[in-house]
Amino acid sequence: MRYAVMAAGLATLMVFESAGASAADLPIRSVPPSAPLVLPSWTGFHVGVQGGYRFDEANGKGTLFELAYGTVRADRRFDLDTPVGGPRVGYDLQIGPSFVVGVLGDFSWGDGRRTVSESLLGAVTPPPQTATAALAVAPSVVLATGTLSVRHQWDATVRVRAGYLFTPTLLGYVTGGLALLDERVTASYTVSGLFGTAYRASNTRTGWTVGAGVETKLFDRWRAHVEYRYADFGSQSYSWAAEGSKGKLRTSTNTVLAGVSYAF
């Protein structure tokens, strides 16, 4: 009986050892490694188009000299607001996970113009003969009549920008640099009843610009942006020697733009 029990136990042990060996011979299935998470990079060139509105203001101060009446002064304000649009190019460099620096250049075409018609008055001051006459208001005469026109067409900028990535696909940035503006001035006046020669002048105004914007990655390599810029072009002098006239225009702009671009 004792030998029968021992034989049964030995048989059971051999069954477990055989099962263990079979399990050890089975191939081990490895879990495939997960693909690493790749964050979008902002480094590279980009080209796009944009459009918006330019709020354009020019403040003029001028003088006109006439031999009989002396110097007459006049101040004028010209609102030259216009839609604008054009290309935009740039290059960005991402620094670490959160910062982007780069350069931008753009060109926008618009057509802001304003023409004013005016009459310049010269005072007549005859010598007073009595105390009452000395207190009287001096009469005036129309010294000159005519039109003055200011026109702003294209503008362009070359700028640097620095931004912070709120998310891997959303950039907020500030920008600043050089600003250029096309300015054209025309005038035609009749002075003391005599028709003068027409006056024309054009200048490429140079100034500075600062602004801010946001830009986001849409899909694939496409981006979209919204931007605001202020530009100051200082004062520009104009001289109309044939009519004895001189003037200055102080110009500034506020521009709002939106656009899309493609990154390479």
Report the number of distinct structural domains present in the chain. 1
Q: Is residue 133 part of a domain?
A: yes
CA distances from 75 to 63, 67, 94, 244, 247 (A): 9, 21, 49, 17, 9
Is 210 within 8 Å of 230 (Cβ atoms)?
yes
Q: Is residue 72 part of a domain?
A: yes
Q: Is residue 30 part of a domain?
A: no
Q: Is residue 27 part of a domain?
A: no
Q: Is residue 174 part of a domain?
A: yes
Is 48 within 8 Å of 87 (Cβ atoms)?
yes
Choice between 237 and 139, residue whose per-residue pLDDT is larger: 237
Q: Report phi then psi at 185, rounded to 5.
A: -125, 130
What integer best gives the mean pLDDT of the chain?
A: 80
Structure tokens at 156: 């362009």
Q: Is residue 111 part of a domain?
A: yes
Confidence at residue 239, expressed as pLDDT on a 0 to 100 scale:
81
pLDDT in tens, 98-150: 999 999 999 999 999 998 877 665 555 544 554 444 444 445 555 667 788 89
Cα–Cα distance, 100 to 43 (Å, whole number): 8
Question: Of 141, 146, 145, which Cα lies nearest the Cα of 70?
Answer: 141
pLDDT in tens, 167-182: 999 999 999 999 999 9
Q: Is residue 240 part of a domain?
A: yes
Element (H, E) at 217: strand 199-217
Confidence at residue 6, expressed as pLDDT on a 0 to 100 scale:
45
Q: Is residue 259 part of a domain?
A: yes
Query: What three-state secondary structure class fits 177?
Result: strand
Domain containing 64: what range? 42-263
- Taking 90 as the threshold, does the pLDDT of residue 210 lie above it? yes
CATH number of the domain enclosing 135:
2.40.160.20
